[in-house]
């Protein structure tokens, strides 16, 4: 589903209700930051991430619409810190891919 505030009319309350229905059906709910908000300023990405977290989404997707073809690294970091905190973000970044 689109993350709250990323599309006209998509509110946090609407998303919360949809997430509840998805969870009731036994599935996970994914929110998407797309339509170029992934290249917005860090504050905007943080707000969208917090709103998605409050709505109960299990998975966050951030698009690749920035000029480099991937979301800005600052926005990826901000999204991760909002969702899981700095300690878990740094721990995941430091883990070896060979584990």
Q: What is the DSSP string of 77-94?
A: HHHHHHHH-HHHHHHHHH
Q: What is the pLDDT of residues 85-94, one digit of tens each?
A: 999 999 988 9
Cα separation, 21 vs 57, whole angstroms: 12
pLDDT of residue 66: 67
- DSSP tag of 33: E
Q: Indicate the domain borders of the chain.
A: 12-94
Q: What is the pLDDT of residues 51-87, one digit of tens each?
A: 999 999 999 999 887 677 777 889 889 999 999 999 9
**Prediction pTM value:** 0.85
């Amino acid at each position: 589903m689109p993350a709250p505030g990323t599309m006209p009319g998509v509110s946090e309350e609407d998303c919360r209700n949809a997430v509840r229905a998805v969870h009731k059906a036994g599935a996970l709910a994914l929110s998407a930051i797309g339509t170029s908000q992934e290249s917005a300023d860090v504050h905007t990405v943080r707000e969208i991430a917090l709103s998605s977290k409050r709505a109960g989404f299990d998975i966050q997707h951030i698009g690749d619409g920035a000029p480099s073809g991937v979301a800005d690294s600052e926005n990826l970091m901000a999204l991760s810190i909002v969702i899981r905190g700095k300690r878990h973000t740094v721990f995941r970044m430091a883990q070896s891919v060979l584990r």
